[in-house]
Amino acid sequence: MSQILSVPGRFNGPLTSGQGGYCSGLIASFVEGPAEVALRSPVPLETPLDVSRENDGSVRVLDGETLIAEAHPTPELDVKVPEPVRVEEARLAKTRYRGSHDGTFSRCFVCGRAREDAIGVFAGPVEGRQLAASSWTPPDWTASGAEGVLPEFIWAVLDCPTFFALDPGAERPMSVLAGMTARIDTPVMAGEEHVAIAWPIKSDGRKHHAGSAVLSPKGEVLALARALLIQPRDGLQ
């Protein structure tokens, strides 16, 4: 059985393709329960994509004959969450955000400095700790009433901070989201201040693994993810 998925143009990460976490969250919605999503190609914007459901519960997303992504159910998410970051610490870390005003991700709808309508997650280093954090108050347009913020926006917020967590105090070669596993444990409510954090797990050559979470002001884990980022050999599309 095949369905159609299309990513609105405003939800870009790189200038010409979808933000990886947002796209992963949309794709994960076609899978029952917690999902692991692998991004195989940049996700085109404003383009009808075929979502093919497989008998084992997995899905494949294609643009014609080009494989865009794959997703399958995952029984658990094995990620150890560090000690919480206080809201005050996250606000201060946000002032240390080092994202650029121009370049590939300058207009990312989550963390782009050049976007007036960015969702507002600007993760910077937390002093004395090897992680990045940002305070975050979800805007009303990200939510669906009493159900809270839509899952695809939570996945988006879990994505961007991971890059800055890999080495939060220094410049790194550009890397992009290649895979993500996430779960949402508790609704995230719009209009309330939260904390987004991310931390490095391990690196192997061009491959980097990081964890991320959305926390309540009291430090409770509301959503959790593990991300794989890869440094492309030939630049970004």
Q: How far apart are the first and last CA of the chain?
A: 30
Q: What's residue 75's pLDDT? A: 82
| Residue 192: DSSP 8-state | S
Tens-binned pLDDT, residue by residue, of the chain (237 aa) = 679 999 999 999 999 999 999 999 999 999 988 899 999 999 999 999 999 999 899 999 999 999 999 999 998 888 999 999 999 999 999 999 988 888 888 999 999 999 999 999 999 999 999 999 999 999 999 999 888 999 999 999 999 999 999 865 555 556 889 999 999 999 999 999 999 999 999 988 889 999 999 999 999 999 999 999 998 776 544
Residue (of 148, 149, 95) closest to 122 by Cα position: 95
Q: What's residue 235's pLDDT? A: 52
Segment 113-126, tens digit of pLDDT: 999 999 999 999 99
Q: What's residue 118's pLDDT? A: 92
Q: 3-state DSSP helix/strand/coil percent for the chain, to nearest 5?
A: 15, 35, 50
Q: Hey, what domains does the chain have and what are their CATH numbers? A: 2-73 (3.10.129.10), 87-230 (3.10.129.10)
Q: What's residue 237's pLDDT? A: 44
Q: What's residue 1's pLDDT? A: 61
Could you give the dihedral angle defined by the CA atoms of residues 209, 114, 168 and 132, in that order, rounded to the nearest 10 degrees?
-80
pTM score of the predicted model: 0.94
Helix extents (H) in the chain: 20-28, 87-94, 151-165
